[in-house]
Chains A and B, each alone.
Chain A
Amino acid sequence: MDRLEASLPRVAARRAAVGGLLENRDALGWAMVAPALLLLGAFLAYPFLLGVWLSFTDSRIADPGRFVGLENFRYLVGDGVFRLAVLNTLLYAGVAVVVKFVLGFALALLVDREFRGKRFVRAAMLLPWIVPTSLSALVFYWIYDSQFSVLTWVLREVGLVDRSINYLGDPNLARASLIAANVWRGVPFFAIGLLAGLQTVPRELYEAAAMDGAGPWARFRWITWPLLVPVAVVVTVFSTIMTVGDFQLIWIVTKGGPANATHLFGTLAYQRAVQGGFLGEGAAVAVFVLPVLVACVALAYRALRRED
């Protein structure tokens, strides 16, 4: 009984402390975000920082290596294969994102209209995006086969070509083929994103403009486009990030060949770090892409802020 009485003040004090904590907005705020911060720290920040650290070491698989400063970066700048991968990435992302934007925008404008079967078309439009990338990559692997391409067969049947097309054996054709595959896969992302943006434009604005005598181009130029810009920026930035970081399509269809003509940052980093065993150099390849991605994120952040 005595012990129980003695323990009561302690329990009361503990309750008061917990109550005080819950009353303190700052402390409560930190307590609420702590789980999310822990998860982000463990699964995002730590691997990211570890990757950056590895890029400054000569670490190999099963060997932590030692700090080598900028040696990996210095070497990569002088490495022909890496320079080719940089050019490939810029070309791949630059061309693919522009084409995806144009086609996606056109598609969004088309399906924004009222027509029979609109819902079905909108759902079907998403198919290339929701099909697993590895699966669509395998399909393209067959489409671009040098001997058994269905595309070549069709072109032959209609009399446009009379011999096999060397899609993946010629460097430029291989690049173009992969860009086309990426465009096919990425157009729905733009189309759906921009369509969502189009849906938010108040219809009254169009009606008012029409009453003032504005034609379709004027309505697009002065109403649709200005209101769509923030969404367009965000969608473009996200797509750029995904395109620059593309891996599966390239790896399945060409593995970076022929003779490294289609290597991107991701495939080269994987080849050198995981297959070659040189973690430091592979990490440096991946880290090289950081400035591009940081710029993209900053752009998206600004656009989102402006939208707010």
Chain B
Amino acid sequence: MRHRSERVTRRRFLKDTARAASALALSAWGLEAGRKASDAQELTFPVERGASLRVLRWSQFVTTDRPIFEENAARFTQRTGVPVRVEYETWTDVQPKAAAAANVGSGPDIVIGFFDEPHLWADKLVPVTDLAQYLGRKYGGWFDVCPQYGYSPQRNAWIAIPIGAPGVALNYRISWVREAGFDPDPARFPKTTDEFLRLCRALKARGHPTGFALGKAVGDGNTWVHWCLWAFGGRAVAPDNRTITINSPETANALEYARALYETMIPGVAGWLDPHNNRAFLAGEISLTNNGISIYFAAKNDFPEIARDMNHAFFPVGPVGRPTELHLFSQAYIFNYTRYPNAAKEFLRWIMEDTQYGRWINGMLGYVSHPLKAYTGLAVWRADPKHLPFRDAVARMLPHSYAGRPGPEAARALAEFVIVDMFADACTGRRSVRDAIRAAEDRLRRIYRS
């Protein structure tokens, strides 16, 4: 009996493996999810008569994004008769625009924004639980971080549909890592914080400093300091979203580690904004930094020798023993002042379905990582092995509010660079580790108290 059951298991295993392999191959053409679609109950929203939609979203990170998005929107119009007007804003300017819309109760029907924007005006949004559940069922489920961003405990409903994460990974020069005595293969790249520090020191010793932004760099600054804080077990707030827990030995350890890392960095990082590390890396001034895939694409276009000599890797894991990455996180939400909530939901459903979403994400060349597990097999992640670390961005990330929940307080702490400033103070020596933590604690208390 046992023997028979084992045989069946093996057979099943082989069958499943073959199915998975063929599914992976087909996914390049969006067929994988299409196959799964037949397993899930289809959902459509009856579009209101005379409906039209205004969509506010972030400007493209890569030139292929906008044409594909607009083509998807045009096909939606063709199919439903609903005209869609898409407006673009720099990604950091979407929130102020959406805030104005939320305040005056007029503006775009749909906003595709970032982080906890929907939680700032949760009661002004159309619940999208039905759509979120449908997409989750159909496409293999959401990654763990998605409900934390999309679901509102206050509304007891999903208030936003996760769109994906412009992922951040370590960008490094292959030859310099090898020269420093380390294996540049991403699979064997330093996996622990200790080993990573040894690599950074070795790079610096050979005249190839690292560079991590410590100025008001919304993306690059926030992502690496939060990774570092969480890797050592530090966190701004407890799960109750009230108790400030930043003043802890774990935070002190994270800051001490960052100070050691700072010793390996090029001078000037304290004033760096988001573009600085891109330029320094492409100019060969630094050997290692954290960034999206944009450096690689700029290199492929203008500095092919650097593109050949660079690769990407995951952030190492700290003493907590699991990935603690932070990535930018985008989600779409619908304001309840819209006269066409069904049309808006139908539009979001349309762009998240495999045919449209697959083309869009593939077209963005790895800039955005998917939130639904079934999209892990998209062609873009197999087009170039150097894309691979970006594939798992959503799977490996924690919400910026960790260990609290997204909301006005976490948004404010992020907007005010509380954690970045704490690291900058400690690293540059403007404040002792202790004082830097206390200053951050004071600010967080105020933010979470109010």
Contact = CB atoms under 8 A, between A and B. Distances in A.
Looking at A255, A274, A277, A281, which has the most chain B CB atoms within 10 Å of its CB? A277
Nearest to B105: A62
A255 B285 CA distance: 24
A62 B102 contact: yes
Contact of A166 (B271, B273, B416): B271
A271 B424 contact: no
A250 to B, nearest CB: 11
A171 B425 CA distance: 11
Nearest to B285: A147
A60 B408 contact: yes
Given A276-B411, A277-B412, A164 B428 contact: no
A139 to B, nearest CB: 15
A300 B161 CA distance: 54
A258 to B, nearest CB: 4
B416 A167 contact: no
A131 interface: no
Interface string B377-417: 00000000000000000000000000000001001100111
Contacts of B271: 144, 146, 166-170, 174, 254, 257-258
A167 B273 CA distance: 13
Contact of A146 (B276, B408, B447): B276
- The SS class assigned to the A binding surface is loop
B304 interface: no
Contact of B270 (A258, A271, A272): A258
B142 to A, nearest CB: 26
Contacts of B442: 80
B268 A271 contact: no
Given A61-B120, A147-B283, A259-B421, A170 B270 contact: yes
B411 A145 contact: no
Contacts of A259: 270, 421, 424-425, 428, 430
Contact of B216 (A145, A146, A255, A281): A255
Contacts of B411: 276-277
B415 A276 contact: yes
B96 A164 contact: no
Given A147-B285, A277-B99, A169 B216 contact: no
Interface in A240-267: 254-260
Chain B's interface size range is 35 or more
A256 B216 contact: yes
Interface string A270-293: 011011111001000000000000
Interface string B118-133: 0011011000000000
Nearest to B277: A147
A75 interface: yes
B10 interface: no
Q: Interface residues of B: mostly helix, strand, loop or mixed?
A: helix
Given A271-B415, A274-B96, A147 B421 contact: no
Contacts of A254: 215-216, 271, 273
A84 B412 CA distance: 19
Contacts of B408: 60, 277-278
A87 interface: no
A170 B214 CA distance: 12
A146 B412 contact: no
A274 B99 contact: yes
Nearest to B436: A259
Interface residues of A, number: 37
A171 B271 CA distance: 9
Contacts of A168: 215, 268, 270-271
A79 interface: yes
Contact of B268 (A60, A62, A169): A169
B184 to A, nearest CB: 24
B216 A272 contact: no
A148 B279 contact: yes
B210 to A, nearest CB: 14
B103 A61 contact: yes
A278 B216 CA distance: 19
Nearest to B446: A75
Contacts of B417: 257
B450 A275 contact: no
Interface in A213-246: none
Contacts of A257: 215-216, 270-271, 273, 417, 424
A80 B438 CA distance: 12
A287 B154 CA distance: 33
A68 to B, nearest CB: 9
A291 to B, nearest CB: 24
Contacts of A155: none
Contacts of A260: 421
A280 to B, nearest CB: 9
Contacts of A81: 443
Interface in A128-182: 144-148, 163-164, 166-171, 174
Contacts of B216: 254-257
B99 A62 contact: yes
B238 interface: no
Given A145-B276, A275-B96, A169 B270 contact: yes
Interface of B: 95-96, 99, 102-103, 120-121, 123-124, 214-216, 266-273, 276, 279-280, 283, 285, 408, 411-412, 415-417, 421, 424-425, 428, 430, 439, 442-443, 446-447, 450
Given A145-B276, A169-B269, A274-B99, 20 more contacts: A61-B120, A80-B442, A81-B443, A146-B276, A147-B283, A166-B268, A166-B270, A166-B271, A168-B270, A169-B215, A169-B268, A254-B271, A257-B271, A257-B424, A258-B270, A259-B270, A259-B425, A259-B430, A260-B421, A276-B411
4 smallest beta-carbon distances between A and B, as pairs = A146-B268, A168-B271, A255-B216, A169-B270
23 contacts: A62-B99, A62-B124, A145-B279, A146-B268, A146-B272, A147-B276, A163-B267, A166-B270, A166-B271, A168-B268, A169-B272, A254-B273, A257-B215, A257-B271, A271-B416, A272-B416, A274-B99, A275-B416, A276-B411, A276-B416, A277-B99, A277-B412, A281-B450
